[in-house]
Structure 1
Amino acid sequence: MARARTPRTAWIEAGLHALAAGGPDAVRIEVLARSLGVTKGGFYGFFADRYALLEEMLDAWERDVTDAIIESVRAEGGDGRDRLRNLFRIAGSQAGVTTAMSTELAIREWSRRDAAVAHRLRRVDRRRMDYLRELFREFCPDEDEVEVRCTIVTSVWMAAHFIAFDHGGRSHDEVESMVLRRVLE
């Protein structure tokens, strides 16, 4: 009986999990094969080498954290405020948000020592900011205010994973809701 090959996407997902857990140095073919319960021979049917896997992992990450989310928000429609609410809901409710943020942080750290990864991260951040600007411009005519709101939203989203203080009796979700209401005024 022929054994089914481990799909390419399984290697990419396993690589992203390893990246989230230990950075790019943790993405090792032998370790991924072991985690998938297969031999490393199947890896070479999909990828020329580890660097090819790393590139495809970054491609998948970029698609998932930008294009897929933007497409989902656009598909739901609505005006700029509605789409911003949908963006926050979709980005905040993605399956595996903790893993997604761990991956994001690992890529940000990796970009500090790899120029190609830094270039890709700038592209992702630019795409995210451009989309936020597009949405805020629909109801906010002041370009300075648009930039401030985009920066606040992005900063709150990133900082939420580093902040360890309480909010004076309010939950983190309550405070994020208050921020959202404020930037949507």
Structure 2
Amino acid sequence: MAPPTRTPRSRWIDEGLRTLAAGGPDAVRIELLAKALGVTRGGFYGHFEDRRALLEAMLDTWERTSVDEVIERVEAVGGDARARLRRLFAPLPASTSTDGALSLDLAIRDWSRRDPMVAERLRRVDNRRMDFLRSLFGAICADEDDVEARCIIAYSLWIANHFIAADHGTRSREDVLERALRTIGALD
């Protein structure tokens, strides 16, 4: 008789991230994840020592997908700094949802206000993202102060755009964002 199939570690992490994005860190409970996965809690302990270990693994996965994989995608084709900035700010294909990634990022930002370990991880992720932006803007602009200003404007646009409900007259949001990115030199 074949041994029972264990729920892969990655499924626990993915379900934890989905739950975090939907309900915050307090919603990430082992028994609720097991129920959502249709398994018993026992399999959890084959992968993680405790809930805190799962939360760490979730943050590792978030950092890898939201920084490393984004940079890899942008750098994969090569090109000059403006071409890479275009790829960085280009919408993903319609088949790829960014809603989940945004919800997760926002949940982690909220969580960081109450947990110093998460705040430190968020600081590291934000610094890595800003360093990447600095490398790109630094290639098209020699003034370090201007580079820093462009980076914070671009990063702020990326985060805050989803909170702004303003209308733009006859202009679409996409047109206004494109114009903003052109203004800071992110687009040709």
**Superposition TM-score tier, normalisation by shorter sequence:** over 0.9
Structure 1: which amino acid aligns with 2:22? A
Offset of residue 35 of structure 1: 0.7
Q: Which residue does the alignment assign to 1:5?
A: 6
Distance 1:7 1:174 in 2: 43
Distance 1:132 1:123 in 2: 14
Offset of residue 96 of structure 1: 2.9
Q: Which residue does the alignment assign to 1:77?
A: 78
Distance 2:64 2:80 in 1: 24
Q: Which residue does the alignment assign to 1:61?
A: 62
Question: Mind listing any 5+ residue stretches in structure 1 that lack a counterpart?
Answer: none
Q: What is the DSSP-based 3-state SS (H/G/I as helix, E as strand, rest coil) of the residue aligned with 1:180?
A: helix
State percent identity of aligned pairs. Answer: 60
Q: Deviations over 1:43-95 (max 9, x none)?
A: 11100110000000000000001011111211110111011111112xx4273
Offset of residue 7 of structure 1: 0.9
Q: Which residue does the alignment assign to 1:41?
A: 42
| TM-score normalised by length of structure 2 | 0.93
Q: Which residue does the alignment assign to 1:18?
A: 19
Structure 2: which amino acid aligns with 1:79? D
Q: Deviations over 1:146-167 (max 9, x none)?
A: 1111111111111111111111
Distance 1:157 1:96 in 2: 15
Q: Are 2:92 and 1:93 aligned? A: yes
Q: Tell me the number of residue pairs that the alignment of Structure 1 and Structure 2 aligns.
A: 183
Structure 2: which amino acid aligns with 1:93? L
Q: Deviations over 1:108-158 (max 9, x none)?
A: 011111111111100000010011011001111111111111111111111
Distance 1:39 1:86 in 2: 42
Deviates more, 1:1-10 or 1:98-107: 1-10
Alignment of 1:28-177 (within 5 A): 28-89=29-90, 92-93=91-92, 95-177=96-178
Q: What is the DSSP-based 3-state SS (H/G/I as helix, E as strand, rest coil) of the residue aligned with 2:142?
A: coil
Offset of residue 169 of structure 1: 2.2
Give the root-mean-square deviation of aligned CA atoms: 1.3
Offset of residue 2 of structure 1: 4.2
Structure 2: which amino acid aligns with 1:165? A
